[in-house]
């Protein structure tokens, strides 16, 4: 059986490669402290567990939610965004609930990307920042991830020299995933 077209476009999944290396090292007796994908290593807070137990099995909770997500959840998300970042969002037209950021980022390129569209993606970045656009038929152009003047120079160069012109730029704070430490003024902006 041959691979599917979209699967053939994907580069190797870095976390799978790392897991294979860790498994081999453990099999050879290595003691590994795994700081891998950032999965929680603690139990969920008790109030979260209690709420899940309270709601399981209630007939009204056994249905599919609205395609954009539950209205109250979207309103709460918009309220949080306004409190945290000072940006007002319309929960009916500008907020969509997803199972997580990775699922949202995997699906968003399908909505905004046509085959051959150029997308600027920081390097390094999370695999989904590349994979979602590749699955949608996009073409990736890498730019540096660090918040230095070179980021802007590289982005301007990519815009000037890409044919066709880029349709999107993926932006992530440099500590995510590089562990790069940004200037104090950037941290203050995030914490407001």
Q: What is the mean pLDDT of residues 88-101?
A: 89
CA atoms of 119 and 138, how far apart (whole Å): 7
**DSSP string of 87-115, one letter each residue:** ----TTTS----SSHHHHHHHHHHHH--T
68 and 148 housed in the same domain: no
Residues 106, 128 contacting (CB under 8 angstroms): yes
- Which CATH number covers residue 104? 3.40.640.10
Percent of the chain with pLDDT over 90: 32
Neighbours of 130 (CB within 10 A): 21
CA atoms of 133 and 155, how far apart (whole Å): 18
Exposed / middle / buried, residue 71 (Cβ in 10 Å: 0-12, 13-18, 19+): middle
Q: What is the pTM of this model?
A: 0.66
150-179: pLDDT as tens digits? 878 888 998 999 889 999 998 876 555 556
174-187: pLDDT as tens digits? 555 556 665 655 54
* In the predicted structure, residue 90 carries a pLDDT above the cut 90: yes
124 and 186 housed in the same domain: yes
192 and 107 housed in the same domain: yes
Span of 16-25, 108-117, 168-177 with lowest mean pLDDT: 168-177
User: Residue 28's pLDDT is what?
Assistant: 94
Question: Which residues constitute the domain of residue 183?
Answer: 100-192
């Amino acid at each position: 059986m041959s691979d599917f077209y979209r699967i053939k476009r994907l580069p190797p999944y870095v976390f799978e490669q790392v897991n294979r290396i860790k498994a081999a090292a453990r099999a050879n007796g290595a003691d590994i402290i795994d700081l891998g994908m950032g999965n929680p290593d603690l139990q969920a807070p008790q109030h979260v567990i209690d709420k899940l137990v309270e709601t399981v099995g209630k007939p009204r909770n056994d249905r599919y939610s609205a395609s954009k997500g539950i209205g109250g959840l979207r309103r709460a998300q918009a309220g949080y965004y306004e409190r945290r970042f000072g940006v007002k969002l319309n929960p009916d037209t500008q907020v969509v609930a997803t199972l997580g950021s990775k699922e949202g980022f995997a699906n968003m390129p399908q909505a905004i990307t046509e085959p051959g569209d150029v997308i600027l993606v920081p390097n390094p970045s999370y695999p989904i920042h590349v994979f979602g656009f590749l699955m949608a038929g996009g073409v990736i152009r890498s730019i540096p991830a660090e918040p230095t003047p070179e980021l802007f120079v590289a982005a301007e160069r990519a815009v000037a020299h890409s044919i066709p012109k880029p349709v999107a730029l993926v932006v992530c704070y440099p500590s995510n995933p590089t562990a790069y430490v940004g200037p104090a003024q950037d941290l203050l902006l995030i914490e407001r």
